[in-house]
Amino acid sequence: MSFRIIPSIYLKDGKVVNKNTMEIVGDGDAVALATLYNNRGADELIIFDISETDSQHDNNIGTMVSIADAVDIPILVGGNIKRLEDVKKYIYTGAKKAILDGNKESNLELVSEASERFGSDKIAVMIDSTFDMNKIKTLKYDGASLIIANNCAREALGYGIRVLAYDCMYSFEDIISFAKEEKVYGVSHAGLDEAFDYMNFKAQLKDEDVKVDVLESKITFDKFKTNSDGMIPVIVQDYKTDKVLMLAYMNQEAFDLTVKTGKGTYFSRSRQSLWVKGETSGHFQYVKEIRYDCDCDTILLLIDQVGAACHTGNRSCFYRKVEDFKGGEE
């Protein structure tokens, strides 16, 4: 099982808030933030409901559903669970797991019933350093499949259940050491924000022999049939709609950087230089899959396009029809 890098979002009344100040973060758009995490290489996403009223809670449920629909990565959701019906609501948002609060006896009493109703793979329990670690064995017996350990991850190891290190201020060396323990799930802490370079971080972990999910290519660039300039044409396609967005070219360096960073990177024939799509415009292309054709002379890049693919501002460079041609067009 791969070691996961997992950011978290705190929701109040459907908006992203700072968990300490309760102030709205940016414009509060949770779906946009979740999509950004998804595209930048996060493996999963934790969402906490910190609503204060039933109406705020309902708004958060709606936002969770929207997030689950928008992203490809699994979501784990928790907060404000008072009864089995609340667990059901979270599972029905499309969540991979519902997170019960180990510091609340009422939540601990729900673990067995919830795992029987929805399956043990759907139930996680969050604990902190005040929790009696010996009770982890009981949680496993009752059907919990994951312990989310807030600042006590190492203490929670060794009880036969996977552990996610949450809010642990680990150094890079600490994370490597933790990742190589048995029954670890991943890590989540405050530093994993929207500016964090997930792909690069996971590449560093991979270099340290930590098993992580990264974009990989088993075919090397020299196996492709390139043109006389050592380049190969690349068709770029929206991974959800199959809409063709643009045609570009890659040399070996552009191909290798695309695989390493997860962002569409090409070689400009006019400028004779590498260019990362979106580096100046912000219209990045986040790579979901790389394919090549039967002749090994064309690459197909399946991507999630931010904004427009075309420099004209059109979603696709192929926005003109031959029957509509007017003289003088460039």
pLDDT at 330 over 70: no
Residue 145 lies in a domain: yes
Question: What's the domain count of the chain?
Answer: 2
CA distances from 187 to 6, 16, 131, 203, 239 (A): 6, 21, 19, 15, 28
pLDDT digits (tens, 9 = 90+) for 128-141: 999 999 999 999 99
Average pLDDT score over the chain: 95
Same domain, 183 and 272: no
Q: Rounded distance, CA 3 to CA 206, Å?
A: 10
Same domain, 202 and 225: no
Q: Would you place residue 52 in the very low, low, confident or very high pLDDT band (cuts 50, 70, 90)? A: confident
Residue 215 lies in a domain: no
Q: Rounded distance, CA 211 to CA 257, Å?
A: 20
Residue 129 lies in a domain: yes
Q: Rounded distance, CA 62 to CA 278, Å?
A: 31
Same domain, 162 and 189: yes
Domain, as residue range, for 192: 4-207
Same domain, 191 and 237: no
Domain end: 207, 231, 255, which one? 207
Residue 326 lies in a domain: no
Residue 87, domain CATH: 3.20.20.70
Same domain, 151 and 289: no
Same domain, 157 and 13: yes
pLDDT at 79 over 80: yes
Same domain, 61 and 186: yes
pLDDT digits (tens, 9 = 90+) for 271-281: 999 999 999 99
Same domain, 161 and 233: no
Residue 136 lies in a domain: yes
pLDDT of residue 326: 83
Residues facing 42 on adjacent strands: none
Stated pTM of the model: 0.90
pLDDT of residue 190: 73
pLDDT at 287 over 80: yes
Same domain, 270 and 198: no
Return the exposure string of 201-221: e unless at least 16 CB atoms fall within 10 Å of the residue's CB, then b: bbbebeeeebebebbeeeeeb
Six-digit token string for 54: 């039933």
pLDDT digits (tens, 9 = 90+) for 6-32: 999 999 999 999 988 999 999 999 999
Give every CB contact of residue 320 below 8 A, 6+ residues apart in sequence: 329
Same domain, 193 and 298: no
pLDDT of residue 329: 64
Q: What is the mean predicted confidence (pLDDT) over 160-184?
A: 94
pLDDT digits (tens, 9 = 90+) for 139-165: 999 999 999 999 999 999 999 999 999
Same domain, 286 and 163: no
* Residue pair 233/301 in contact by the 8 Å Cβ criterion: no
pLDDT digits (tens, 9 = 90+) for 298-314: 999 999 999 999 999 99
Beta strands in 137-284 (DSSP E): 146-150, 162-166, 184-188, 232-238, 244-250, 265-268, 273-276
Residue 279: closest CA among 239, 307, 237 = 307
Residue 259, domain CATH: 3.10.20.810
Residue 310 lies in a domain: no
Same domain, 87 and 166: yes
